[in-house]
Amino acid sequence: MKRLALLLGYLGWTLLGMIGIGLLALIFLIATAVPDIPRVPDELSRLIDIPPTQVYAADGSLLTQVGGRNVVTYDRISPLYIKAVLAAEDDQFFHHPGVDKPALLRATLQYLTGNRSRGG
| pLDDT for 40 | 66
Classify residue 110 as exposed, middle or buried by CB count within 10 Å of its CB (0-12, 13-18, 19+): middle
The answer to whether the beta carbons of residues 95 and 106 sit under 8 Å apart is no
Alpha carbon dihedral 87, 90, 95, 101, in 10-degree steps, equals: 150
> 65 - beta bridge partners?
54
The answer to whether the beta carbons of residues 61 and 55 sit under 8 Å apart is no
Nearest 5°: phi and psi at 53? -80, 130
- How would you write the pLDDT of the chain (120 residues) with one tens digit per residue? 778 777 778 888 898 889 989 999 888 887 777 766 666 666 665 666 677 889 999 999 999 988 877 778 999 999 999 999 988 888 788 887 777 788 888 888 887 887 766 655
Q: 10 Å Cβ neighbour count for 6?
A: 10
